[in-house]
Structure 1
Amino acid sequence: MAEIKFEIKETVGSISQSPKGWNKELNLISWNGKEPKYDLRDWAPEHEKMGKGVTLYAEELRALRDLLNGMGL
């Protein structure tokens, strides 16, 4: 399996932390040298390991924000 390369361009914030110390974070990440996307996933404390996540372009993130705002939470 090919190695996945990533560079965290901006840390937006952490949503939660698991009992094992992993953080669910929203970051702007460049994957394999490509255009950065917003990324929501679990990360080990020093970003040495990651869980499965979701990547979104800025317009998709805005659409998600609008959906969440419409939920009235």
Structure 2
Amino acid sequence: MQNANSLYEPEGVALIGSSKIHEKVGMTSPEMFESVIHNMTKFFRGETWILDVEGKKGYKTLEELPSTPDLV
């Protein structure tokens, strides 16, 4: 049940970047990414780490995070 708790009640979440190139699979627009960051930092009670693939903010790799996130 520990794995399910990590999914439904994560203690730490890593948000991975945005791209101006909308054709990239799995990427969101910078505006949408900023909205997600705002909502996570305002409402999520756990740790939130930000990785921006365009190098504008946060960590550059998952290995740089201070601890392992439950969700990425």
Q: Higher relative contact order by CA 8 Å / sep ≥ 6: 1 or 2? A: 2
Q: Which has the higher helix share?
A: 2
Largest Rg, 1 or 2: 1
- TM-score surpassing 0.5? no
More strand as a share of residues: 1
TM-score by length of 1: 0.28
